[in-house]
Structure 1
Amino acid sequence: MAKVYDHAKHSYRFGFRMLTLGWSDGSTFLPVNSILLSSENEKNRINEAAHLDKRTVGYKRRQLSMTKGTQAMLELLKTAKSVSIPAKHVLFDSWFSSPSTLHAVKKIGYDVIGMVKKTPKMFFRYNGTDMSLPSIYKQSKKRRGRSRYLLSVIVEVIKDEESIPAKVVYVRNKNKRNEYLCIISTDITLDEDEIIRIYGKR
């Protein structure tokens, strides 16, 4: 057990965070694996077991629970891939959508469709220049009318000098009409409407 932050209540609580990996065909959701996340910070953990048999599965799960959520997510995906769960795309929100995570999921063998933060601190290579998503949006010509999306661009996701192509779709924020959201897909064969449709199933 650990002191963990509850993003819904905006306060700290004692307990665990649950990370669940599920499979979906668009209408059905089947949980296939999960992990209870404690805390990687030893000071936040309470009532730790003094002795554990390192040969057991329980020990391995306990060690995994004390890693970062992004690393735990990758381990769940590796397990799913090892047992040949049929899936083409991994969907997740902006909490997981960093260049390093996109590269890691791609190496496991899945494409990603996810929301990505509009932060000036995260860069993608666009037309040979490393730029933030807000900067790309600001300098690009937007679509007019009632289109489902405002802008679509192909970028390169760079990590340790390795590059993978991705498509970023800028969509209107239904809750705040003057703002936009960004969806990124490492499967650039999908058109914009399909990317929006698939992500909407998350």
Structure 2
Amino acid sequence: MVAIHLINYVAHFADSRRTQALIIDDSLFKREFSKRTELLSRVFDHDHGCYYKGFRALTLGWSDGNTFMPLNFALMSSSHAKNRISTSRVCDGRTLAARRRAQAQRKMNEVALDLVDDAIQAGTKAKFVLFDSWFTSPKMFAALLKRGLFGVGMLKRSEKVYFRYRKRQMNVKSLYQILRRSKWPAHDNYLYSPIVYFEVNGTSMPVKLVFVTNRANANQYLVLGTTKTNLRPEEIVQLYGRRWQIEGFFKVGKQYLQFDQTQVQNYDGLCGHMAMVMFGYDILALSQREAIDDRTLGDLFYDFGRPLPDIAVAQALQWLMQQLSGLGAQFAGAEQIIDGIFDQFMQTLPSNLAGLLGNAS
């Protein structure tokens, strides 16, 4: 509710044509040295390829391309009982505490859709949902379309996910090879952008793909997809680029807002801790949006940071006297008055400094 009020406040001063989007991602909430934390489980870290003790902090955020604000979260345990190290305490099924604990043991894709539903019901006007390859699937695209939303995600280069292109069944890798052998020219900002059709529950769903060169490795490529097929490829790439803002939230949360640095063992206490982290980041995001400090412009930052050369005192005084003399020459009678002031000023100076000024003049 706090984030929705801040979003409405920010959107009131933004251009109405600016596209609003929701962003879904999760981050590891480590509790390596815990044993009795409620619903503690072994969760898989995709970055390091191994299991850690803790939770997955599933987060939903909002972005207008400039400001990112976290909206809601779900502190996910494991959906497999064998991976859960600690059990949950018994709660009345009608309470929020019981619903939270049941939600933590469900599949993450289903909970992500629940977070999106809550955000839309609360008043969010976003029409796009951004997510990485872990959440990208034909079922996710279809589920968002049923809600009147358009998904934008990165597709896995998997041989197990098939679609139809020109009435032929193929996957991402085979389609890329066909496009490379074809006469389609590659563009500067992207390679190719075909429209393919996924079959979901007997219904054909068009998805526009964009093949982009991986800057980290020129021999590899990335594949973006969206159900908003009338978007230009450049717009799809630019829109998906906003997803990185949620990574910035995770970094700031872990380095400065004590994201996973708490000794609370109760699951409700952990959820309260996460809520306070998001409140703190929302306040920082609003302060940044309202800041009016001068922004740096490229190399000007380094030019302004360079130390100015020191000017000798005698040179500075000489320059000042020359400027005042020039002003006195422009007005009748003022030159004699300024000369008298200079004479009195020279008499009050130390002898060594008066000698330097006399030699310089």
| Structure-1-length-normalised TM-score | 0.95
Aligned to 1:143: 185
- The answer for the alignment partner of 1:182 in structure 2 is 223
2:62–2:69 CA contact under 8 A, matched in 1: yes
Alignment of 1:162-173 (within 5 A): 162-173=203-214
Please state which structure has a larger fraction of its residues in strand. Answer: 1
Q: Please state whether the residue corresponding to 1:16 is helix, strand or coil.
A: strand
Selected match of 2:69 from 18, 30, 41: 30
Match of 2:82 in 1: 43
User: Is the CA contact 2:88–2:101 (under 8 Å) kept in the aligned structure 1?
Assistant: no
Q: Write the distance in 2 (CA, Å) between the matches of 1:49 and 1:175.
A: 43
- 1:158 corresponds, among 178, 195, 199, to 199
| 2:169 matched residue in structure 1 | 130
The alignment partner of 1:40 has SS state of coil
State the shift of 1:9 in Å.
3.5
- Compute the displacement of 1:8 (Å): 3.1
| Counterpart code for 1:187 | K
C-alpha contact (below 8 Å) 2:130/2:152 kept by paired residues = yes
Deviations 1:76-129 (A, max 9, x none): 111112222110110001111111111111112210111001111101121122
- For residues 137-187 of structure 1, what are the alpha-carbon distances to aligned partners after superposition, in whole Å with 9 as ceiling and x for unaligned? 11123424x611111101112111112211000010100101111000110
Question: Which position in structure 2 is the counterpart of 1:52?
Answer: 91
Alpha-carbon shift at residue 59 of structure 1 (Å): 1.0
What is the CA–CA distance in structure 1 between the aligned matches of 2:89 and 2:154, rounded to whole Å? 40
| Structure 2 CA distance for partners of 1:50 and 1:88, relative to 1, 3 Å | closer
Structure 1 alignment gaps of length 5 or more: none
Match of 2:154 in 1: 115
Identical counterparts, % of pairs: 40
Q: Which runs of 5+ in 2 are unaligned?
A: 1-39, 244-361
> Structure 2: how far apart are the matches of 1:8 and 1:113?
22
Distance 1:182 1:9 in 2: 23
Count of aligned positions: 201
Letter in 1 for 2:127: K
Tell me which amino acid in the other structure corresponds to 1:167: K
Asked if 1:196 corresponds to 2:196, the answer is no
In structure 1, distance between residues paired with 2:149 and 2:229 = 13
Deviation for aligned residue 1:50: 4.1
CA distance in 1 between partners of 2:200 and 2:214 (Å)? 29
Using the TM superposition, give the Cα deviation of residue 133 of structure 1 relative to its aligned residue in structure 2, in angstroms.
1.2
Shift of 1:10: 3.0
Q: Residue 91 of structure 2 aligns to a residue in which SS?
A: coil
CA displacement at 1:46 relative to structure 2? 2.5
Separation in structure 1 between the aligned mates of residue 102 and residue 240 of structure 2, nearest angstrom: 31
3-state DSSP class of the match of 2:242?
A: coil
Q: Distance in 1 between matches of 2:185 and 2:217?
A: 18
AA aligned to 1:86 is K
